[in-house]
């Protein structure tokens, strides 16, 4: 019970627990996973499906998932589908054959009619036995746009996410709503969409080049994520524009490298690690609950605006536009 951190271990005195752990270390003992699974007729394993494993969104969510599952003695399989439809369809079946007791889908279309509980991070489809962990995108858009408005920015450029991202349209609709509520107008020529399957800053670089090529005036940029914002900052610098004196830049996610950019990136922080923890905790609760009716349909998390050095008051000549 002590080694497996079982609920019954709470009744064992702390000193005794420490002696058990010390003896296990001395004898190099670890529980036999297969024996445990056979005895309890459970795999104590879950599957995690992600688009890819790279810096940014997925790795931060994964860190929360990993920490919680490990603390509860669960094993997990991670598969990345690279946005291939055949893999998105095949991986749930493959993971079932490995005996997983549940699935976590990160920014991935959820499988339909699953036989095990599913938690979808950035999921938006209402399906049986699926809990969606969702960000409040309306609040996220409002935080970013109001921040830029307070600084005097009226002509704002936007970089949309890829068409396959589950958050792209939801977030951009929230941006439209926020723009409208603040009495601003959205110039379609100042909107570019990320194209390509990678999460490289190059996609943001190319999107920014398209916006610059329109010759439309703007004093601020709100990018779909931090990675694309970093690429856009490079394109702005190469065109001779200074950040933030000429153009303010706001990213999204607050990845670890955002604060180390030059200038440090203002961004809307998603609580990505917390979302991973919530996903894992919710899934284990659903696995161990007697009825699926107890599994929530949706859990909403709140964003936070992190103001750094990449945003500044709009140039005086632009404030009256």
Cα gap 86→84, rounded to integer Å: 6
Q: Are residues 181 and 203 in the same domain?
A: yes
User: What is the band of 126 on the pLDDT scale with cuts at 50, 70, 90?
Assistant: confident
pLDDT at 290 over 70: no
Q: Are residues 64 and 201 in the same domain?
A: no
Q: Are residues 116 and 12 in the same domain?
A: no
Q: What global pTM score does this model have? A: 0.83
Q: What is the pLDDT of residue 125?
A: 83
Cα gap 120→133, rounded to integer Å: 6
User: What is the band of 39 on the pLDDT scale with cuts at 50, 70, 90?
Assistant: low
Cα gap 195→139, rounded to integer Å: 26
Q: Angle at which helices 226-238 and 201-213 pack, to 10 degrees?
A: 50
Least confident stretch, 55-59, 95-99, 275-279:
55-59
Secondary structure letter of residue 105 according to DSSP: E
Q: Are residues 121 and 170 in the same domain?
A: no
Mean pLDDT, the chain, whole residue set: 90
Q: Are residues 243 and 257 in the same domain?
A: yes
Residue 130: strand, helix, or coil: strand
Sign of CA pseudo-dihedral 182, 188, 189, 192: positive
Q: Are residues 222 and 282 in the same domain?
A: no
Q: Are residues 261 and 149 in the same domain?
A: yes
Q: What is the pLDDT of residue 113?
A: 66
CA 54 and chain centroid, separation: 12
**57 close to 133: Cβ distance less than 8 angstroms:** no
pLDDT at 293 over 70: no
pLDDT at 34 over 60: no
Average the pLDDT over 200-222 and give the result. Answer: 97
The range of the structural domain enclosing residue 98 comes to 40-135+272-301
What are the residues facing 131 on neighbouring strands? 119
pLDDT at 299 over 70: yes
Looking at the 3D structure of the chain, how many domains does it have?
Answer: 3
Residues 6+ apart with CB under 8 A from 242: none
CA–CA distance from 190 to each of 141, 161, 212, 214, 226 (Å)? Answer: 17, 14, 8, 8, 18
Q: Are residues 232 and 277 in the same domain?
A: no
The CATH number that applies at residue 104 is 3.40.50.2300
Q: Are residues 131 and 141 in the same domain?
A: no
Burial 133-164 (b: 16+ CB within 10 A, else e): bbbebbbbbbbbbebbbebbbbbbbbbbbbee
Q: Are residues 166 and 256 in the same domain?
A: yes
Q: Are residues 156 and 183 in the same domain?
A: yes
Q: Are residues 257 and 286 in the same domain?
A: no
How many CA atoms lie within 13 Å of 273's alpha carbon, on the beta-carbon side? 7
* pLDDT digit string, tens, across residues 220-253: 999 999 999 999 999 999 999 999 999 999 999 9
Cα gap 39→107, rounded to integer Å: 35
Q: Which of 88-97, 120-129, 148-157 has the highest mean pLDDT?
A: 148-157
User: What is the band of 277 on the pLDDT scale with cuts at 50, 70, 90?
Assistant: very high
pLDDT at 41 over 80: no
């Amino acid at each position: 019970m002590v080694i497996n951190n079982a609920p019954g271990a709470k009744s064992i005195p702390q000193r005794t627990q420490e002696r058990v752990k010390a003896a296990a270390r001395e004898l190099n003992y670890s529980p036999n996973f297969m024996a445990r699974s056979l005895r309890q007729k459970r795999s104590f394993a879950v599957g995690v499906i992600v688009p890819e494993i790279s810096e940014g969104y997925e790795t931060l969510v994964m860190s929360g998932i990993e920490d919680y599952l490990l603390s509860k003695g669960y094993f997990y399989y991670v598969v990345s589908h690279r946005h291939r439809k055949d893999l998105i369809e095949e991986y749930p079946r493959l993971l079932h054959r490995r005996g997983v007791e549940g699935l976590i889908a990160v920014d991935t279309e959820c499988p339909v009619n699953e036989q095990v509980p599913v938690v979808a991070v950035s999921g938006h489809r209402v399906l049986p036995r699926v809990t969606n962990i969702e960000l409040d995108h309306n609040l996220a858009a409002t935080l970013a746009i109001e921040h830029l408005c307070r600084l005097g920015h009226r002509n704002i450029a936007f970089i949309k996410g890829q068409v396959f991202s589950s958050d792209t349209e939801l977030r951009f609709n929230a941006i439209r709503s926020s723009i409208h509520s603040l009495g601003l107008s959205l110039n379609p020529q100042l909107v570019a969409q990320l194209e390509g399957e990678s999460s490289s800053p190059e996609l943001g670089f190319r999107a920014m080049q398209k916006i610059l090529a329109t010759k439309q005036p703007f004093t601020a940029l709100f990018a779909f994520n931090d990675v694309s914002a970093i690429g856009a900052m490079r394109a702005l610098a190469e065109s001779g524009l200074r950040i933030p004196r000429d153009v303010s830049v706001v990213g999204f996610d607050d990845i670890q490298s955002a604060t180390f950019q030059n200038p440090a990136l203002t961004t809307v922080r998603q609580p990505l690690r917390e979302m991973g923890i919530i996903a894992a905790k919710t899934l284990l609760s659903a696995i161990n609950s007697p009825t699926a009716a107890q599994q929530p349909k949706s859990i909403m998390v709140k964003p936070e605006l992190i103001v750094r050095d990449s945003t500044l008051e709009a140039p005086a000549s632009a404030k009256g536009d």
